[in-house]
Structure 1
Amino acid sequence: MRRGFAIFCFLMTAGQAQAVDSSAIQRMTDVAHLWSDVKWLSPALASGEIDWDQALVDALPKVEAASTPAAFQDAVTALMKPLHDPAFQIFSINEPNYVSEESSQEVLEWLPGDVALLHLHRLSSMRVTTGELHFEAVTAQLAARAKGLIIDLRPTRESASYGYGAEFPDELIANFIDQPLLLPSNRYRYHTGFQPEIGITSGMYFSASLMLQTSRLMPVKGGHAIPMVFIVNQSNRVPLSALALQRAGKAWILAEGQASAAWAVPVRAITLDDDGKTGMNYSVGELIFPDGASGFGVDASVAPDSASGAGSPAAKAALKLIRSGVRPGGATVYEKTAAMPVRQLVSLSSELRFPSLPWRQLAVIKLWSTMDKFFPYLAYTDRPWDDALPEFLARMKTVSNSREYAQALAEMAAKLDDSHVWIQGPERASLYGEAPAGVRLASVENRIAIAEITDQELHKNAQVKVGDVVLAVDGEDISQRISELKKITSGSTEAARLRDVLPNLLAGANGSVAKVLIEDAGGVRHEVMLPRSDAFWKFWKARRSGAIFKILPGNIGYADLDRLALKDVDAMFDAFKQTDGLILDMRGYPNGTLWRIAARLNVKGAQFGANFSRRIATALPAEQGSLNTFRQSMPKSDKPLYKGKVVMLIDQSTQSQAEHSGLFFEAATAITFIGSPSAGADGDLTKLVLPGAISVSFSGQEVRHADGRQLQRVGLQPDIKVTPTLDGIRTGRDEVLERAQAFLQAR
């Protein structure tokens, strides 16, 4: 997310109205980034009990109305309040509290009662320059004399610049404990891919709470326990060993300045203004003790002071704690945390079709956030996805009914350029058309032609013929109608986008009539009236007829993978075992047959058929922005391999599992692709739910060729390019299949 939230004051003149609106949209955009990060990372949301959507809806009007930095900070505070996040704070970004370092200052100072004051910044810097010897000498002095130990963790400006580490106290502490010390750990939320909010997916995405492995600090031989105090401030993390000792009643924690849980738990820090003067912390992980409890507190505090010697306020307060007899950690509240994350379920049924403005803005933010975190193909979109967020936040202020609202979301989703993106909801029929006419259309030679007549009445009266070209519908030029539908139709390629537009091109109200201007084979134009019926939807998908698999002239096997059932794969190969070549017609969608077919084709002995990756959302430092990647194994078969030449027919209808078939087949054998490029959309579907009973599907993970080549938005590319012609569909020829037969017969 952006690390600076822009704050602009409202301008009062009419000529500056646009600037006023843009500043409000910018504030909402910045808050959307914050809300998104918190949604996926905050441990407070792991229980599923907080309605984070409602929190945003309540805060957005305040964010939009905020005319001053203070008002904006109040709005952000209101948003974060339901989390009860102990690390949340908005603060002024000032110079860190560095302690001064006198060149004559010793690493160790001795206070009354043989209490040692250890200046860790001095010891650490010496360790960097002189190695282990000085460190070991100091440890030996402490072990021999110290009856109490004050460890000053506050950095100097110099030591902060090279980042001395909090691991040093653990080596010291091992000398001053008499039993093993089990340290607390940090727990993070972890999401690999997006679990569908409705429906199912084959992606096996999951969310989890991931607790890091902790350590058990063992006492050194001859070690003995002594009381300890750790002096900390906002410039350093409180060591886990200090927290464990405090919990065990063995050490106090003394804070310089106002203590915050942000010193102990994993946090994310951002700036709230472009000047970098105001900052904010919030939790992205939680501190967990061995018994499952969580909590942080300090035993005492002192005002910031640069002094660090024996007479400093911090040293005096630390010595007072050692002499107090008060048990360490007594002021800290330790609470048990949820043992497991709980998924918050989402319902479609209770949503209003036209939500109020904050809920509409939430829909934009939720759609943006989900894709920003999990959509695997953001790098391939035509426009940066971040641009969609302010654009459609502003758009939601202008929509006036449920149809315009749904259209805005459809246009936003279409910018993902993924043919797996599909909008469903109450207004879908009004946007795309309720019922089609009784013809199936195809894009042929850059024209829209009738490829099949599905209305039997039209067959009888011969108003239209296969191969007739559509020029207009209901008085609107067909190119204009295509352009309008493309705005709300996502497509990995232009051919795939047009493919999904075609079913809706002549659609309208069920029972109505489409007035269509057509041009016949002789160039004559005339209007026809085509009845619309939702019963025609079942005929829209092209289906080939005849035998599902057969032997063609020239001893060539042919299989229609759009219709071939899994149970018939072995019978097909038995029938084709003596053929010289095999045509696999994958212009359509398979029935789960690819793995069994690939196993019978694997003459290359390939081990893998495809590469997968899904995005990870977590605050774990080593995992941020990373991918969960794996290779999909090639299945095995104990049946004979097919060793003849293999061709696969493809076009824009070849998508997802159909393209996946191509990946496995090419890995298994020397395959030749014939036809036109496939759709370029692979990776199983997952779905999210938006206000207004709207669901959006999208590709949940990236799929690549086994050799690593990109598939999304590229598709399977034909080795021999062949596309249908108007003359071909008018005469009933399958020119792609004919070219495949000619290719195999010529070899």
Structure 2
Amino acid sequence: MPRTLFFRGFLTLGLVAWTASAAPAAPAPALPSAEERLAHLARLWGQVKYRHPALASRDIDWDAALVAALPQVEAAGDADAYARAVQEMLETLKDPATRVLRPEEAAPTEDAGASGAGREQAARWAAKDVLLLDLGAPWTETPRGELARAKAVLVDLRARGLDARAPERMTQALGSVLPLLLTQTLQVPGSRSVFHSGHRAHTLPADGRYTSALLTTSGEVVVPQGQGKPRPLLFVLDDRSPVDARVLTMKAQGLAQVLTEGRLDDGASAETTRVELGAGLVASVRLSELGVPLRADAVLPRRPRSEGKDDTLQKALELARKPVRKVKVREVELPPGRWRVDNAYPDMTYPTREYRLLALFRLWNAIELFYPYKHLMDGDWDEALRAAVPRFAGAQDAAQYALAVAELSTRLQDGQVALAGHPELERRGISGSPAPFEVLELEGKPVVVRVGDTEAASGLKRGQIVETLDGQPLAQRLEALKPYVTASQGTALRQRLWTQALSGPDGSQATVGVRDADGQLKQVRFTRGPRREPPSGEAWRMGPDNMGYVDLTRLRPTEVAALFEKMKNTRALVLDLRGASPGTRWALTPFLTTRKARHGAVLERNLVSADHTGRYKFSEELPAAGAAPYRGRTVLLIDERTLGAAEDTGLFLEVANGTTFVGAPSAGASGGVTDLVLPGGISLRFSGEDVRHADGRQLQRVGLKPQLYARPTLAGLRAGKDEVLEQAYGWLKDKGGPVGAPR
């Protein structure tokens, strides 16, 4: 190589090396904005609320901890201040395993900290007849010969300065050593963690459908092996050690002593999860706790470095020479699990900024962890949190706060979402009592299709078009409600909007302007309240051509047997479920089961536990068939008013006997309802389970699909006809005889 090229290459390499060495360190991650910090805090607060065992057993005001932390988190000017504010909230738990991890802790590396140097020898004699087993050193095989000669044993479990996998390796090595040290069988208590099967309701009756519990594992039995003999045994730990339940159990039963450098912390052994906080910070959250006391015989200061004399081992040798004091066996010291209903703070109709954010955090986390249809939502739920922070924080009065809650609830796109408990929600028709009549959108207009209480709405009749409410166009009120009312599909949403537009405080009065068939506009005064059907006898009647009609919105379970005794000789039945069901499917299905189907629906429920956040899938079995099932054909009338339990009835009947659906698609909203409470006394109900057809097809946001589409017309309604029912009768007449043989 020419000399000039050699020096040029050498110079180039030198410049590259100099440039690399002189390059500035990577800048620290930027501090997230105040709104982003609040979003991170919301996720952390929810993980602790639903997964930390202390919140399920101890008297901790987790709401107050959040309320106190919020101003400091928002005001933080740098990462240190941010970390301190979050850590102060976590200190409420008094749990060293749940804390903010600095960047160097969040991504541990191999270093030469205390106890990190000179640990190459797994077993050595620390003194005459005192064997030291260093489980932090490379471990090849258990020194059985040395153990047999030792009159005392020290087990070094110090992990500070070792790589992140060291605790795991130590735990494995301990498993091979302990049986050789024991002189009696050791029953080790299990760990305990939180388990949620769905979201347990706060205001609805406790029916056991959704549960919260503390689950305790069965623990472990360690059986002595070899020539175990009574002798002093001492474990040496530090604040990074795997605090093993077996070690603590031996300490609690007087079989060993424990010495620790620094705070005794079981965080390295407990199950934990991590929550990103931004700015390079991560929070570690405990998911399990040990059922044995966390105590040491001696606590020494944490050594900053490992060079020089190991005073900790000298202290351990002193303790090892002393006789072990026998103690009474002690195991579980954990308080029992307790279920607590969230505080609704009913007097806070306009909560302070901190309590408004508490409301947001509660709502967002309950849906994030437990809403089974989150995958069907059009929008991103994480983005919904970020967008809602300024909306909740900046609400200027009670109305803006209540509307912020309602607006966020629409993100669920669930027809079973219902809000209650706040006067501003009632005043605007978002909640409250319905009008004593029912409207259905026909040809783009809200038309009266049924009057439930003629006394409360005297002068109203079927076929009238509702145009105004208290002198204002009803369509105008509907438009104002759109941002705050939700449903699972478009037609059902329109139906619900018309219904809510007429709703208001219970007992309140209003005036509607209705237009008759002759074009006359009339003003009718009505009183809001629970919808009441006028007494009209039985919920069934005979129809044409030996066909029966049953109004399933009125039929009660106790009337089902009498119904089929009356209708047993009919050639067909029309089952009308264009509305809410009073819960007759369990009583009804046995009389209609003519097929060999076993399951009526498939359900999935969210599970939240220490191990995972996943789903529990199970099938809902059909009730046993009756002694003499009905053999005639059946038709089920459905439309957008068919929702929830009514749709569940349709699922059962389609597999029980192949019932034909006639009408329009149902609401597409099912799943046992649960609820949560928010400051200001607001209750939010939502679907708690993912309900599907027996073959796994989606129901939510799709609905039951009619095999025969039928829709009433305004003219037909005004003429006194039920065109959907007439089409069902016509279809049954054309089909002729009874259903085929069971399949």
Match of 2:540 among 538, 549, 564: 549
Distance in 1 (alpha carbons) for counterparts of 2:167 and 2:270: 22
| Pair 1:69-2:72 in alignment | no
C-alpha distance in structure 1 between counterparts of 2:266 and 2:119, whole Å:
35
Which sits farther off after the overlay, 505-514 or 70-79? 505-514
Q: CA RMSD in A?
A: 3.7
Distance change >3 Å, CA 327–CA 456, structure 1 → 2: closer
1:584 aligned residue:
575
Q: Which amino acid aligns with 1:112?
A: A
SS at match of 2:588: helix
Alpha-carbon spacing, 1:259–1:92, altered in 2? closer, same or farther (3 Å): farther
* Partner residue in 2 for 1:30: 40
Q: What amino acid maps onto 1:84 in structure 2?
A: K
Q: Secondary structure of 1:710's match?
A: coil
Determine the C-alpha separation between the residues in 1 that align with 2:148 and 2:57: 50
Kindly indicate whether residue 714 of structure 2 is the aligned counterpart of residue 726 of structure 1: yes
Deviations 1:545-579 (A, max 9, x none): 67522332223232211112222212222233233
* Cα distance change of structure 1 residues 283 and 391 upon mapping to structure 2, 3 Å threshold: same
**Aligned pair in 2 of structure 1 residues 297, 44: CA closer, same or farther (>3 Å)?**
farther
Quote how far apart the aligned CAs of 1:736 are: 1.4
Q: Alpha carbons of 1:251 and 1:314: their partners in 2 closer, same or farther (altered >3 Å)?
A: farther
Match of 2:409 among 407, 413, 434: 413
Contact kept in structure 2, 1:192 and 1:615, CA below 8 Å:
yes
Q: Deviations over 1:494-544 (max 9, x none)?
A: 2222222222334578776546485x657x6x7543324326x536x8x89
User: Could you tell me whether the CA contact under 8 Å between 1:609 and 1:706 is conserved in 2?
Assistant: yes
Change (3 A) 1:298 1:42: farther
Structure 1 position 79 matched with structure 2 position 52? no
Q: CA deviation at 1:354?
A: 1.5
The DSSP-based 3-state class of the residue aligned with 2:351 is: coil
Aligned residue among 441, 444, 450 for 1:443:
441
Q: What's the offset of the Cα at 1:46? A: 2.3
1:17 alignment counterpart = none
Identify the match of residue 570 of structure 1 among 554, 561, 573.
Answer: 561
Residues 4-61 of structure 1 deviation map (CA, whole Å, 9 limit, x = unaligned): x98638xxxxxxxxxxxxx222211111111111111222222352222122222222
Distance change >3 Å, CA 305–CA 595, structure 1 → 2: same
Mapped partners of 2:618, 2:586: distance in 1: 17
Partner of 1:531: 525
Q: CA deviation at 1:336?
A: 6.8
Counterpart in the other structure of 2:59? 49
* 1:377-431 CA-partner distances (Å, limit 9, x unpaired): 2111221222232322211233222222212211111221112211112223211
AA in 2 matched with 1:585: D
Q: 1:424 to 1:431 in 2, by over 3 A?
A: same
Q: 13, 28, 39: which is aligned to 2:49?
A: 39
**Is residue 603–residue 689 contact of structure 2 (8 Å, CA) maintained in 1?**
yes
Q: Secondary structure at the match of 2:219?
A: coil
Q: Which amino acid aligns with 1:284?
A: L
Post-superposition offset of 1:673: 1.0
Tell me which amino acid in the other structure corresponds to 2:446: I
Quickly say closer, same or farther: Cα 1:201–1:609, change in 2 above 3 A: farther
How far apart, CA to CA, are the structure 1 residues paired with 2:323 and 2:564?
Answer: 83
Unaligned runs of 5+ in 2: 1-27, 736-743
How far apart, in 2, do the equivalents of 1:329 and 1:414 lie? Answer: 63
1:352 aligns with 2:343: no
Structure 2 residue matching 1:427: 3-state secondary structure = helix
Task: Answer whether contact 1:294 1:337 (CA < 8 A) is retained.
Answer: no
| Deviation (angstroms), 1:658 | 0.9
Alignment of 1:412-431 (within 5 A): 412-425=408-421, 426-431=423-428
> Is 2:22 the counterpart of 1:8?
no
Q: Are residues 1:611 and 2:608 paired? A: no
String of CA shifts for 1:141-165, please: whole Å, max 9, x gaps: 2343333334444679789399536
For 2:492 and 2:301, locate their aligned partners in 1 and report how far apart those are by CA, in whole Å. Answer: 65
1:661 to 632, 642, 649: 649
Residue 200 of structure 1 corresponds to 205
Inter-partner Cα distance in structure 2 for 1:361 and 1:102: 49
**Residues 606 and 668 in structure 1, CA contact (< 8 A), matched pair in contact too:** yes
CA deviations on 1:595-639 (whole Å, 9 max, x unpaired) are 1221122221222222223222222x2xx1122333222212452
Q: Could you say which residue in structure 1 is the equivalent of 2:230?
A: 225
Counterpart check, 1:502 vs 2:527: no
SS of alignment partner, residue 179 of structure 1: coil
Cα 1:328–1:355 shift into 2, 3 Å: farther
Cα separation, 2, equivalents of 1:513 and 1:648: 35
Moved more, 263-272 or 654-663: 263-272
State how 1:38-187 maps to structure 2 within 5 Å: 38-47=48-57, 49-94=59-104, 95-96=108-109, 105=120, 107-120=122-135, 124=139, 126=140, 135=141, 138-153=142-157, 160=165, 164=169, 166-187=171-192
Q: Which residue of 2 aligns with 1:281?
A: 284
Instruction: Name 2:322's counterpart in structure 1.
Output: 325
Contact 1:228 1:251 in 2 (8 A): yes
2:243 alignment partner, one of 233, 238, 241? 238
Alpha-carbon shift at residue 640 of structure 1 (Å): 0.5
Relative to structure 1, the CA distance from residue 142 to residue 328 in structure 2 (aligned partners, 3 Å threshold; closer, same or farther) is: farther
- The Cα of 1:469 is off from its aligned counterpart by 4.1
Kindly indicate whether the alpha-carbon contact (under 8 Å) linking 2:665 and 2:705 is maintained by their aligned counterparts in 1: yes
Q: TM-score, normalised by structure 1?
A: 0.83
CA–CA separation in structure 2 for the residues paired with 1:284 and 1:506:
48
Which residue does the alignment assign to 1:676? 664
The CA deviation string for residues 638-689 of structure 1, in whole angstroms up to 9 with x for no partner, is: 5201222221111111111111111111221122111111112222222222
Between 1:468-477 and 1:350-359, the stretch displaced more is: 468-477
For residue 432 of structure 1, what is the aligned residue in structure 2?
A: 429
Query: What amino acid does structure 2 have at the position aligned with 1:196?
Result: A
Q: Which amino acid in 2 is paired with 1:222?
A: Q
CA distance in 2, matches of 1:699, 1:596: 23
Residue 538 of structure 1 aligns with an amino acid whose one-letter code is R
Alpha-carbon shift at residue 184 of structure 1 (Å): 3.4
Secondary structure of 1:67's counterpart equals coil
Q: Aligned pair in 2 of structure 1 residues 347, 112: CA closer, same or farther (>3 Å)?
A: closer
Q: 1:296 to 1:45 in 2, by over 3 A?
A: farther
Check the 8 A contact 2:635/2:661 in 1, yes or no: yes
CA contact (8 A) 1:508 1:532 kept: no
The letter of the residue matching 1:678 is S
SS in 2 for 1:564: coil
Q: TM-score, normalised by structure 2?
A: 0.84
Any conservation in 1 of the 2:123–2:133 contact (CA below 8 Å)? yes
For the Cα contact (< 8 Å) 2:549–2:574, is it kept in 1?
A: yes
- SS at 2:97's partner residue? coil
Does the 8 A contact of 1:97 with 1:235 survive in 2? no
One of 362, 365, 369 as aligned partner of 1:369: 365
**Corresponding residue number in structure 2 for 1:641:** 629
Tell me which moved more, 141-150 or 170-179.
141-150
> CA 1:557–1:317 in structure 2 vs 1: closer, same or farther (change >3 Å)?
farther
8 Å CA contact 2:453–2:531 kept in 1: the answer is no
Q: CA shift at 1:71, angstroms?
A: 2.3
2:481 aligns with: 485
